[in-house]
Each structure stands twice: as structure tokens, then as C-alpha cells.
Structure 1
């Protein structure tokens, strides 16, 4: 299989290693119209771990009425092969979801917040301020259980209903999540409108507010073809955790303009060429995406998968 020529960045601005937070099994599959069998999901997760991933977001305890695809969360968690040094975070939206997480022995969870009023209402049925009332009991219980909590912050770079989003507002909401106890904050470009300068401005706004880049991750969608460019800027600013979805699967079921996530293969191809270590095997990922595309009945949207598997 063809590999990129390795020519490390001569400026020295990029990190030596990047951790990929793989979201394919949860964010990638959550809005698939055809229900994927639990056995396929567990095999998908096992294949991702075999490819070298150390973080695979496995599923979500959102009510099945809202995300029917993930109604089998407990079955999937029971079926995956546990591996030393590999985390399997689960999205937990509320207290009931926390009950299920505890029952399933989950050790890593994530909460999903909005940086804007409009999306908080659409996605959470709560206001920008009142969304924290939902997170507070979850965070308190997580701390009591010794769980690590990640905070997702959506609509960071633009909102399809509100338009532009003030970086100062993003920082205020993000700091609230960190202060509640999130160990990491993932900044989501939910509708894929971010550009490189915008990404740099938001990250520097967090840095100016005293938030280190070791507590920040980035989650880009490739709606306008900017995800890789935005990722490079984030890495230059000191971010070392990047969310990606194998095969470029996924989007947001509550934002119609949110097309696929940054494809893990596209990210790995770029980082391999830059000499940035991820520990993830590109050939194994391509094989996995091709396999999953067969189950979904359509080709992978990842450009790297299409180039290497075609």
C-alpha cells in the first residue's frame, strides 16, 4: 500500500505525537438510517483497537427515542474486547444515562454542551445557561465514581441558526465545563465552517483565559473541506488531541448542515507524512473502513480510503 513521503515540519511547531480520539462507533454511526447490528459495532470497535487506537468512543446512553441507532449501548459495551491501555468513553447526557453507565462499569464518560442558545434549545431542549443544571449532577456522580469526564462543546465556530459565534462566549461556556470537573474540552466545529485563522483566534482566547492546550481537543467537520487545514493550526497552537471518525462517517443529527467528521485515515495520512506519531496503522484503518462501508452499503467518503482501496 502506498505511504506518504515523510518530511517533518522544519519549523518545529508541530508536536511529536498526537492522540486520535476515535469517534466512529458513536458519532460516526449515530445518525445512520439503517440500524447496524450490535455484533457489527463490537467488531468495528475491536478492529479499531487492533489498528492501534487507544481511545475509542464506543456508544452513547442517549434515550433510544432520540438516537435509535445506539439503543444497544449496553450490549455493545458487553461485547467489546477489553485491552490494556485502551479507553472506551461513552456519551452520557443526563442522570438516567449516568445510571446506565454505572451499571455497565464505564470508567470514561463525555457530556455534550452547546456554545449557543439556539443549539442548546434544539439539541438539549434547554437554554445556554440552564444546560448546566443537567450536567451538574452527572459531573458530581462521575467524580464520586472516579470517572474521567470529557466535555464536548458544539457550535464553537458558527451556528446554523445564530450565525457567527463570539469566541468570548465560547470561552465562557468552555470554562464552565472545565470548572465543573471536565478533564478535557473538545471544541466542535459542528457545521464545518471554521477556517484556520478562526481556529487560531479561538485557541488563543482560551490560552489568554488561562486554559492550557493540554486540556483542549479539536473536533472538525469537513463540510467545506477545511478540517485538515484547521487541524494543522490547532497542532501549531499546542493541541495534541484530535477527534476523527474512521471512514469520515457521521455528523450531527440535530444540525442538517453538519456533514461528515474528519476522516481518521485522512488525518493519519497527513500526520504520517509530517512525521507525527499516532500509533495508528493506516493500512488497518483502510481495511476497516472498507469493511464497514460494505455493511453500510455505500463507499467510504474518506479521500484516502478511496485512493488506497480503489
Structure 2
């Protein structure tokens, strides 16, 4: 199959990127400014907040304030993670444009992460999805550990496909396949995608690759060759996984954009504006910029 002519970037930095920040609580004002800056790059989809228990994810405790403070740009969807009805209620009150639920392809990861089986986790999502649909809000489904688990090791493509199939059947409009600990290789990525495509139409599949082993860009190229046209990424490579030792951040949005530009694949996103934003948030968090492209190209002062 040929490469897609256009790819939609789903920016994960404000949520998946910041939720595991180890430098202390990221101020609400910084989160708001980050989202506003990202909105100005040409992105159409930003995951802006997570409405989960502050006991488990204290970094995301200001979700309502963040959603209230951002300048909503026309044509941009501002999404939030909502694992339960309580989170959904809070997200709807904050006027999110879309919500997301997440399940694992690994039984061991599901037990360690949310203390229940895969089947139990999916059953918990049914009322969340139904309630969101009743309010006219779309639901995105995430499948984590699609190419490896820190607790059980290998994860079979067939298991990934079954979880994806169930999320689609429950009403998720799009399924994002996450290599949570970044151990996948291009051949694994193709085999996993081939299994999922038996149940989920290609145009409803997104990929969400972490770069722990430096394979994310190679893995993305492998699935782009198969026609995948939705990519999750995180500005400056922000992120990680608290349940996966050594897991680095998401693949950097800047690096994905550079890859896509080189393949003549349209995104509508301004690479230099993204680079500048990546340096800005890295400075705010006093961390090294995780984008190789950003480090190579450098910041350009904005007028």
C-alpha cells in the first residue's frame, strides 16, 4: 500500500506528556500557555487534560481550570482522558470536545496499572461511552502495551486485535495503538497492525509510539507504508510511563513532522512553531528537549 497523502497529528504533550513530569507540579498557567501555543501551530487535535483521581495522577488535578483558561481555536478539538463516569461528568462540565478511555492489551499491565482484568476494565467503560454519546461527545479508545509489556514481556498481535475490536464495538470512533514502553520494531509494528486491521478499518486506526529503544520513527514509517494516517506524538518528546521502568517519552512531534515533510505528506502543522514551543516548555520544566530535530535546527526568535 502507498503512503497516505495526509496525516493527522494528535498532540499528546499537555496530557500524556505532562502527567508524569518529575520536576514537580507544572503550574496551571504553564499548561494553558502550552496548549495555546500548540493551538497556533496548525494542529487540529490536542489532548489537553485528564479527569482522573488526583490521588493517582496529581499532575492532572487542575484539568477544569486548564480547560477554562485556554483560548479555543477554531477547528481544534480539545480532548480529555476520562476513565470513569465521575471523570466524564467533570470533563463534560469543562466543555471538552472529545473524551478518551484506555485499556491494555496485557493482562499483567492491566492488573498492575488499574488493578483489574482487561475484561473488567472494558466493562467499566461501557457506561462512560454510553453517557458521552448521549451528550453528543465522541470517544477515542486507547490500547496500551501493544508491542510489549514491562511485566509479561511479549504481547501477541491477536490479543491487541481483540481489545481493539471490543473498543470499536463499544462505540469508540478511533482506536489508538500504544507502544507504551517503546520496545517495538518495524516488523512487530506491521504484524500488530495487520492483526488489528482484521477488525478495525484502517481509517479508524491511530498509532502512539514511545521511543525508549529509539525505534519510534522507524516504526512509524513501517505503518505509514501500510496506510496509517493518524499519529499521536508529544511536543519535545514529553512523557513517559510511571508503570514501565526506563520508558522514555512519546515520539517527539517535531521529529514526526520532519519525517512527514520528507515524505511529502501534508499535516498542516508548522514545524518551526512546534520547535519553538518545544524549547519553551522544556525550559519551563527545566528539562532537556527530547526532539532530535529541534536540537539540530534550533529555536528561531518569533516576532
Band of TM-score, shorter chain: over 0.9
Aligned to 1:172: 162
What's the CA shift for 1:256? Answer: 1.9
What's the CA shift for 1:269? Answer: 0.8
Supply the distance in 1 between the matched residues of 2:200 and 2:128 (Cα, whole angstroms): 23
Aligned to 1:187: 177
Aligned to 1:295: 284
What's the CA shift for 1:62? Answer: 1.0
What's the CA shift for 1:243? Answer: 0.4
What's the CA shift for 1:210? Answer: 3.6
In structure 2, list runs of 5 or more residues that go unmatched.
none
CA pair 210-175 structure 1, distance change in 2 beyond 3 A: closer
TM alignment of 1:91-106, pairs within 5 A: 91-106=81-96
Aligned to 1:205: 195
What's the CA shift for 1:298? Answer: 2.1
TM-score calculated relative to the size of structure 1: 0.94
Residues 186-213 of structure 1, C-alpha deviations (whole Å, 9 max, x = no match): 0000111111111111111122x24211
Larger relative CO (CA 8 A, sep 6+): 1 or 2? 1
Aligned to 1:52: 42
Contact 2:164 2:200 in 1 (8 A): no
Contact 2:67 2:95 in 1 (8 A): no
- Tell me which of 249, 255, 264 is aligned to 1:275: 264
Contact 1:112 1:154 in 2 (8 A): yes
Q: How many residues align?
A: 298
Secondary structure of residue in 1 paired with 2:232: strand
Q: Which runs of 4+ in 1 moved over 2 A?
A: none
Secondary structure of residue in 2 paired with 1:188: strand
Contact 1:107 1:146 in 2 (8 A): no
- Tell me which of 217, 229, 232 is aligned to 1:240: 229
Aligned to 1:9: none
- Tell me which of 86, 109, 113 is aligned to 2:103: 113
What's the CA shift for 1:299? Answer: 2.1
Supply the distance in 2 between the matched residues of 1:234 and 1:259 (Cα, whole angstroms): 21
Aligned to 2:250: 261
2:147 equivalent to 1:150: no
Secondary structure of residue in 1 paired with 2:96: coil
2:58 equivalent to 1:31: no
Contact 2:168 2:200 in 1 (8 A): no
User: CA RMSD for the aligned pairs?
Assistant: 1.1
What's the CA shift for 1:69? Answer: 0.7
Aligned to 1:129: 119
Aligned to 1:67: 57
Aligned to 2:72: 82
Residues 23-45 of structure 1, C-alpha deviations (whole Å, 9 max, x = no match): 00000000112111111111100
What's the CA shift for 1:309? Answer: 1.6
What's the CA shift for 1:107? Answer: 2.5
TM-score calculated relative to the size of structure 2: 0.96
Supply the distance in 2 between the matched residues of 1:186 and 1:203 (Cα, whole angstroms): 11
Supply the distance in 2 between the matched residues of 1:192 and 1:68 (Cα, whole angstroms): 24
Larger deviation: 160-169 or 12-21? 12-21
